[in-house]
C-alpha cells in the first residue's frame, strides 16, 4: 500500500496537467461524455488502478466497468512488477547494448563489433564481410541514434577508416551485421526490420512466455512506435488478430504503404521465436520480467535486445470481445 501511495504521489507531482486536460477533451468528444465526467473518471482510475491519463485513453478505460478495469495492466502496476521482480543490481546488462551482446551473444545469431575495443583494421575486416551494417549508441532508446550504412566499395580502406572515425565521434560504437529479414516479413514492409516485442517471466529458473506484439515500420528505417512505426498483437500461434495502431491513434487493417493485410498475418517461425526468448529469459533470472525485441531473419529468429522496463502493451477495450486486459495471463506466472 505504501509503495502504491508513493507512486501516486510521484505521478501527481510530475503530471503534465495541460496534456491531461487535452486528453480528457479528446476522449470526451470521442465517447460523447462530458469533459467534467471524464476528468473525474480519470482521477478515479489514477487513484484506484494507478492508470495515468495515457493509460486511460490508450486502453479505453471509459468503455470499461470496474471489474474489467481490474484486469488491465497500467503503468503503475507495471512499475510494481519491475520493482518486485527485477533486481537493480543486474539491470545494467540490459541498459548497455554492448554489455547485452556480450552476455546474450549465443542468442543474437549475427556478427557484431564493439568499436571501443576494435581497431580500424578489425573494422575494415568486418566491413569486407558485411557491406550493410547497423550502427547504434550503446545507451540509445526508442531507436534514437540507430542508422544503417551501406559500404559501396568494401575495398576502399581509406573510406572505411574515415567511417570508423565518424562512428566513434557519433558514439555509435555498437556495429552489427544488417539483419536480412524473412521474405514474409518483407512482404509486410521492407523498409525496416519489423520486430516482435516478446514478453517473458522467469519463474523458479524457468522461462515462461507471456505475450507478443508485432512492430511494423511505416515509411522509416526503424519500426519503433515513437519513430513513426505502428504495432499490433499476435496470438499464441503468431497470427495478428487486431488492427495495428500508430502514435496518432490511426488504425490499420492493411499496411498503408504496401497494402499487405495486417489482420490475419502469420509471423513466420513464431514457435522458434517463443522457444528462443524462453531460453534467453533463464540467463539472468534475477531480472525476471523482460521484453525482448526479436527479428525473424532468413535463417530464423534473432534477439536484438532485451528490455528490463518492457513497457505496457495490451489490447484496447474495443479490440477485445470480453474487454479483458493482460493481468489474468500475467497472474498465471506472478503476483500482480
Per-residue pLDDT tens digits for 230-258: 999 999 999 999 999 998 889 999 999 99
Global confidence as pTM: 0.90
- Give residue 1's pLDDT: 59
**How far apart (Å, rounded) are the C-alpha atoms in residues 333 and 146?**
34
Mean pLDDT of the chain: 92
Percent of the chain with pLDDT over 70: 93
Q: In the structure, what pLDDT confidence band is assigned to residue 17 with cuts at 50, 70 and 90?
A: confident
> Is the pLDDT confidence value at 144 over 90?
no
Please give the residue that has the higher pLDDT: either 152 or 212: 212
Q: Which of 11-15, 59-63, 74-78 has the lowest mean pLDDT?
A: 11-15
- Under a CB-based contact definition with an 8 Å cutoff, are residues 273 and 198 in contact? yes
Per-residue pLDDT tens digits for 259-294: 999 999 999 999 999 999 999 999 999 999 999 999
Q: In what order do the strands lie in the sheet with 230-234?
A: 251-252, 244-246, 230-234, 206-216, 195-203, 289-297, 300-307
- Under a CB-based contact definition with an 8 Å cutoff, are residues 205 and 282 in contact? yes
**How far apart (Å, rounded) are the C-alpha atoms in residues 16 and 110?**
42
- Give residue 140's pLDDT: 77
Q: In the structure, what pLDDT confidence band is assigned to residue 212 with cuts at 50, 70 and 90?
A: very high
> Is the pLDDT confidence value at 19 over 90?
yes
- Give residue 11's pLDDT: 59
Residues in contact with 192: Cβ distance below 8 Å, sequence separation at least 6, in sequence order: 217, 220, 221, 222, 223, 229
Residues in contact with 248: Cβ distance below 8 Å, sequence separation at least 6, in sequence order: none
- Give residue 192's pLDDT: 87
- Give residue 248's pLDDT: 83
What value does the mean pLDDT take over residues 28-34?
A: 92
Cell 495541460 appears where? 18
Please, what is the end-to-end C-alpha distance for the chain in angstroms? 13
- Give residue 145's pLDDT: 84
Three cell numbers, residue 270: 513464431
Q: Are strands 195-203 and 147-150 parallel, antiparallel or unpaired?
A: unpaired
> Is the pLDDT confidence value at 305 over 60?
yes
- Give residue 224's pLDDT: 60
Per-residue pLDDT tens digits for 85-134: 999 999 999 999 999 999 999 999 999 999 999 999 999 999 999 999 99
Cell 557519433 appears where? 170
**How far apart (Å, rounded) are the C-alpha atoms in residues 22 and 215?**
27
Amino acid at each position: 500500500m505504501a509503495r502504491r501511495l508513493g507512486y501516486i504521489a510521484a505521478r501527481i507531482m510530475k503530471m503534465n496537467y495541460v496534456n491531461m486536460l487535452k486528453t480528457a477533451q479528446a476522449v470526451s468528444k470521442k465517447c460523447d461524455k462530458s469533459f467534467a465526467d471524464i476528468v473525474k473518471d480519470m482521477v478515479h482510475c489514477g487513484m484506484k488502478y494507478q492508470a495515468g491519463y495515457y493509460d486511460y485513453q490508450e486502453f479505453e478505460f471509459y468503455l470499461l466497468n470496474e471489474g474489467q478495469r481490474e484486469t488491465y495492466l497500467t503503468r503503475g502496476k507495471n512499475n510494481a512488477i519491475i520493482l518486485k521482480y527485477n533486481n537493480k543490481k543486474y539491470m545494467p546488462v540490459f541498459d548497455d547494448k554492448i554489455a547485452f551482446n556480450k552476455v546474450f551473444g549465443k542468442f543474437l545469431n549475427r556478427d557484431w563489433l564493439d568499436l571501443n575495443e576494435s581497431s580500424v583494421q578489425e573494422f575494415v575486416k568486418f566491413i569486407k564481410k558485411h557491406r550493410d551494417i547497423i550502427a547504434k549508441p550503446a545507451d540509445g532508446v526508442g531507436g534514437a541514434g540507430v542508422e544503417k550504412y551501406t559500404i559501396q566499395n568494401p575495398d576502399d580502406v581509406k573510406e572505411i577508416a574515415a567511417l570508423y572515425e565518424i562512428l566513434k565521434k557519433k558514439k555509435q560504437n555498437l556495429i552489427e551485421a544488417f539483419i536480412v529479414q524473412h521474405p514474409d516479413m518483407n512482404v509486410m514492409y521492407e523498409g525496416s526490420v519489423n520486430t516482435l516485442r516478446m514478453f517473458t517471466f522467469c519463474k523458479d529458473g524457468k522461462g515462461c512466455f507471456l505475450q507478443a506484439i508485432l512492430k511494423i515500420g511505416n515509411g522509416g528505417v526503424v519500426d519503433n512506435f515513437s519513430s513513426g512505426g505502428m504495432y499490433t498483437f499476435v496470438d499464441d500461434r503468431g497470427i495478428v488478430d487486431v488492427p495495428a495502431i500508430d502514435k496518432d491513434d490511426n488504425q490499420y487493417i492493411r499496411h498503408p504503404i504496401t497494402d499487405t493485410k495486417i489482420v490475419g498475418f502469420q509471423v513466420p517461425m513464431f514457435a522458434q521465436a517463443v522457444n528462443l526468448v524462453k531460453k534467453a529469459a533463464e540467463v539472468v533470472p534475477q531480472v525476471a520480467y523482460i521484453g525482448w525485441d526479436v527479428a525473424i531473419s532468413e535463417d530464423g529468429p534473432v534477439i536484438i535486445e532485451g528490455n528490463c522496463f518492457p513497457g505496457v502493451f495490451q489490447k484496447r477495450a474495443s479490440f477485445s470481445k470480453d474487454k479483458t486486459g493482460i493481468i489474468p495471463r500475467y497472474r498465471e506466472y506472478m503476483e500482480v
